[in-house]
Each structure stands twice: as C-alpha cells, then as structure tokens.
C-alpha cells in the first residue's frame, strides 16, 4: 500500500473522477493514492468487489490482553441487547480477537448535548459513529476528538478493500483518513425524495403522484389527511426527517436547481458553478418558507413540531398516520399492516420534476471513527475488520443468533416469528441498527416489509445526476467554533419557526438574519468560502465534474 498522509494525493482521486463518472451511476475507477489501495478501488461497486475472506484479518499486535472496544452511538437498545452482545463477544473470542465489545447509546433527545460533553471531557471509548448531517468528521476531528487512521490501515487490507475510492474520499480530513466508511445504502438520491401512502393517494383521486405541481401535492396532503383521520382516528402530518433538515423535495421545482443546501445547519447553499451563498438569505429559502407557511396554516404541519420527540412521527406512521413526507421509506406500508387492521396499504417514493437530475451531495453519509481517548486505537479497527469479514459476523452483530433472533430467508432477507419479537412493541428482541455499521453485500431486509419499492429505494442508482462541488469537501470549523455554537442556538430559536411556517417569513426574517449575523454568520461564511476556494484551487477537476464535463 501507498503512503496516504498528504492532502496533495486528493488531487489524484479527483482527477480520476473524469473517468470514474464516464458511465453514469458507476462508482468504479482506477487506483489512486488518496484512498487506501484496495480491491474495491479497482472495479465498479465497492460491495461486489470486496474480499470474500471468511475470517477477519487480525491486524496489529496481540499483547495477550483483552482490550475494551466501546462504541458510542445514538438511540436506545433493543430488549435483548446484553444477550446478543454476549454472543458477539463469544464469537470474537473464538475467532482469536483480543477485544470485548460494548455499546453506549445516547438517546436522541439529548444526543447533541451529551456527545459534546463526552468529547470535551475526554471520556474513554474506542469507536464513535459519525453522521455527516449531524456533526461531521471535520467538526469532530477539529476538536482532536478522533484520530487519523492512515498509519494503521496498512495492517487491514481486507477492511480497506471493502470500500470504493469515493467512500474513502468521504473520510478524508486534512490529508488523512479519519474514519471507516459505512456502506449501508445508496446515496444517489439522498435528500429529495418523499414517501407517499399510494393507496390513500389513489383513493383521494390521484392515480399518479403529481410530480409537476407543488399546489397539487399540497392538495394531495390535505385530502390524504382527511381520509386518514376518518380511517385511523389520527391526524396525519407532513414531517421532516429531522427538524434541522431542509425542504430538499421542493428544491427540484425551482428554476435555480440543481443546487445543494448543506443539511446539518442549512447555512450554506452550494451552487453548481461553485458559488457559496447564505441559504437563509436566499430566494430559495424564501420560497421554502412560503410553501411551509401555507402548509402550517392548513394544518399539515404538527403545531407542536418543535417540541415533540422525534419518535412521535414514527409511532404515528406505524398506525398509518403520515402525509407525503421527506422521511420514512416504502417499507412503511408493511409496518402499517403489521401494526393495524388496515389491509392493502401501499407506499412509494417519488421526486418532484423527475426529469431533472439528482444531486449527489456526498460520497458517504455514515462513518465510524476511532476516539482519541481509546485505550487501544486498533481495537476499533480490529472489530470493523471482523464485522465485515463475513456474512456470519455481520448477521450476528446486527440481527443476533440465527434461529434465536431471526430466520434466514435467503437472498438478503430475514424473518422473525413471535418468539423473536418484543411482546409490547412488536419490534425485534435483538437488533443493531445497520445504518450505523451495516454493509450492503451482507444487508438483510425483513421479508415482511421488503417490498419491491423498498428494495429499489435502498439500492437506487441514478442514471441522471450531477455531482455537487461540495460532495467531497469537508469544512473545518475549528476557526469558528464559538460562532458555530452560537449559530446553532440561534437557528433553533429564530429560523426554525420561520422554516416550518409557524410565523410568516416577511415579518420575521429581517430580525432573524440580524441575530444570525450577531452570532457570527458572516465570519462563518467567510471561513467556509476561504476553505472551499482553497479546495477548488487544489482540485481543479471538481468544477469540471460539477459542470458535467467529466460525466
């Protein structure tokens, strides 16, 4: 393997993109020194060209001691978590790995606060799940909370080989790879789709999704709400995936599309010509707010959306109560039928103006990084190497013991009988979220919910797309840390009410922008533009790709 440490190597990968994107939707390409040299980097799909070894590459030195491998993730545990994890550790021991896995989950309603506290106080753990749309690699690495991996990765060629050049590129910060990608889903259409109960859509007079008219979509929402209220007794609402999300589904309808709004704060709108603008001061944000104001006034947005725990929307959706929304997925149809007396429920996923291109805004969304406080930094890499070494290991960690917690239905499917489910919730007795540690070649989908629409959503590969100029760019916020903290607070207080339509745009945006500027908006934008310009100067092919000239 080649030395991976210098950012100059990134230029070689981006130069490679000209050939890499020659066939639309193909993630393959030749080898490059900016990503770990791997079998995956030589061919098309990372998942198909990965090594087929049945045992993990041990990697590193074995000092004879059992080292902790503590993982920090968001969420809560399944009921049999401890039993399932005991089986994982038994298998690790049998496979000769000197690590013991434990997981710490931080509930979503306190995740941001508690994670920041852990990172600033130096709490000890080994593996941290990184969500680029929540707190990205640059933000965490800028705190010196995670470590660069290039000095270790030579020891783990099988692990390196399971991911494409693109996916490894998404793990680069300051010239080093700071995390291992998580390839659990296709990200070709990450943001702009909405999920619709198509059975309701047809019953209220729409044979096809009205993808050419926002007004008709709002009409569909209103008629669906009335129908679902009569059907379930619940008032259904339109939901963001998370409150911080942007209304990407609307953006496809604007004349200025394609563009991409950075999703974790919504401060940046990146245009295809490389211009970086302030999103909350843009005409696009104004248009978003006008639509959501109408939706709020028409009762399509939950009036208490800013105070509700994020689990509420999922709980209601299980009972069939959701409107066309930028969240959920098509498996929701089977979930509804499992939890209600409703029959023949169907769901589909759609985009506005489907003739317009998708925007590829990231090469990887989820990653796992090694904490700077790790007792043994290689414990995390040993675990990931083992996890992705075989279907058996992947199954055991994510789904539990076969025959105890799931049944193998073949062809990437599983099922669970009543003995494998929690009596109170109907959920799995043991389950670890694949969106944090899953790997596409080994993924299993519940045969009860894996509709054709759902599988097409999970594995979608776009044939008509543009690549955002910021797809491979990671902003380093270390020079604007205090501004970032202040902006986060002010966005929640001043922008969210406007964004969701709770208050009118015209009467409130002026004071909101003044508060953002007082919190440091202009300094943040200046720092972002400076770094992005340096990135473009170092990597001139980025703009050729964004313009479609290298596609």
CA atoms within 13 A on the CB side of 15: 11
Interatomic CA distance for residues 308 and 485, integer angstroms: 22
pTM for the complete prediction?
A: 0.70
Interatomic CA distance for residues 255 and 66, integer angstroms: 59
CB neighbour list of residue 240: distance below 8 Å, 6 or more residues apart = 247, 325, 326, 327
Which runs of E-coded beta strand occur in 237-330? 259-261, 268-271, 276-278
Pull the structure tokens for residue 287: 């248009």
- Confirm if 301 and 295 have CB atoms less than 8 A apart: yes
* Helix axes 214-232 and 283-297, enclosed angle (nearest 10): 30
Pull the structure tokens for residue 174: 């300051």
- Confirm if 11 and 538 have CB atoms less than 8 A apart: yes
- Confirm if 72 and 125 have CB atoms less than 8 A apart: yes
Query: Under CATH, domain 8-188+362-443 is a member of which superfamily?
Result: Periplasmic binding protein-like II (3.40.190.10)
Q: For the CA atoms of 36, 40, 41, 42, what is the dihedral angle to 10 degrees?
A: 130
Q: Where are the domains of the chain?
A: 8-188+362-443
- Per-residue pLDDT of the chain (551 residues), as tens digits, is 443 333 333 333 333 333 333 222 333 223 233 456 543 332 334 444 444 443 444 455 667 789 999 999 999 999 999 999 999 999 999 999 999 999 999 998 889 889 989 999 999 999 999 998 788 888 898 889 999 999 999 999 999 999 988 788 788 887 789 999 999 887 776 678 999 999 999 999 999 999 999 999 999 999 999 999 999 999 999 999 888 899 999 999 999 999 999 988 899 999 999 999 999 999 999 999 999 999 999 999 999 999 988 789 999 999 999 999 998 888 888 889 988 999 999 999 999 999 999 998 888 889 999 999 999 999 999 999 999 999 999 999 999 999 999 999 988 999 999 999 999 888 899 999 999 999 999 999 988 878 787 887 777 888 898 989 998 787 888 899 899 999 999 999 999 999 999 999 999 999 999 999 999 999 999 999 999 999 888 778 888 888 874 43
């Amino acid at each position: 393997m080649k030395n991976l440490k210098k950012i100059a190597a990134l230029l070689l990968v981006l130069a490679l993109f000209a050939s890499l994107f020659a066939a639309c939707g193909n993630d393959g390409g030749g080898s490059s020194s900016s990503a770990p040299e791997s079998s995956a980097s030589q061919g098309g799909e990372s998942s198909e060209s990965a090594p087929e070894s049945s045992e993990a590459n041990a990697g590193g030195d074995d000092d004879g001691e059992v080292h902790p491998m503590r993982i920090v993730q968001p969420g809560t545990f399944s009921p049999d978590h401890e039993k399932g994890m005991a089986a994982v550790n038994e298998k690790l021991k049998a496979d000769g790995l000197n690590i013991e896995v434990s997981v710490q989950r931080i509930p979503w309603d306190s995740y941001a606060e508690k994670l920041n506290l852990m990172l600033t106080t130096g709490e000890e753990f080994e593996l941290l799940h990184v969500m680029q749309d929540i707190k990205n690699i640059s933000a965490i690495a800028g705190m010196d909370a995670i470590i660069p991996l290039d000095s270790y990765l030579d020891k783990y060629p099988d692990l390196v080989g399971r991911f494409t050049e693109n996916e490894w590129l998404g793990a680069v910060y300051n010239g080093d790879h700071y995390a291992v990608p998580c390839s659990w889903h296709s990200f070709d259409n990450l943001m702009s789709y909405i999920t619709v109960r198509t059975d309701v859509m047809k019953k209220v007079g729409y044979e096809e999704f009205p993808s050419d008219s926002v007004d008709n979509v709002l009409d569909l929402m209103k008629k669906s709400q009335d129908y679902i209220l009569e059907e379930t007794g619940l008032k259904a609402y339109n939901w963001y995936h998370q409150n911080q999300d942007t209304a990407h589904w609307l953006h496809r309808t604007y004349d200025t599309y394609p563009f991409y709004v950075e999703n974790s704060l919504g401060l940046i709108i990146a245009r295809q010509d490389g211009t970086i603008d302030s999103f909350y001061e843009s005409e696009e944000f104004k248009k978003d707010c006008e639509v959501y104001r109408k939706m709020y006034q028409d009762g399509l947005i939950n009036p208490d959306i800013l105070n509700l725990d994020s689990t509420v929307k999922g709980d209601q959706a299980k009972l069939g109560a959701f409107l066309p929304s930028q969240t959920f997925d098509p498996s929701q149809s089977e979930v509804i039928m499992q939890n209600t007396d409703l029959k023949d429920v169907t769901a589909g996923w759609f985009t506005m103006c489907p003739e317009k291109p998708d925007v590829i805004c990231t090469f990887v969304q989820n990653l796992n990084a090694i904490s700077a406080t790790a007792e043994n930094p290689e414990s995390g890499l040993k675990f990931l190497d083992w996890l992705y070494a075989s279907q058996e290991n992947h199954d055991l960690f994510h789904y539990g013991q076969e025959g105890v917690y799931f049944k193998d239905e073949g062809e990437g499917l599983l099922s669970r009988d009543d003995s494998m489910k929690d009596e109170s919730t109907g959920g799995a007795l043991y389950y670890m979220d694949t969106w944090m540690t899953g790997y596409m070649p080994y993924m299993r989908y519940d045969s009860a919910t894996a509709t054709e629409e759902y599988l097409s959503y999970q594995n979608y590969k776009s044939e008509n797309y543009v690549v955002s100029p910021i797809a491979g760019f990671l902003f380093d916020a270390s020079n604007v840390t205090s501004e970032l903290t202040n902006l986060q607070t002010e966005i929640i207080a001043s922008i969210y009410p406007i964004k969701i339509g709770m208050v009118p745009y015209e009467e409130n945006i002026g004071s909101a922008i003044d508060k953002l500027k007082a919190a440091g908006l202009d300094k943040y934008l200046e720092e972002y533009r400076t770094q992005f310009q340096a990135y473009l100067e170092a990597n001139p092919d980025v703009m050729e790709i964004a313009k479609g000239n290298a596609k």
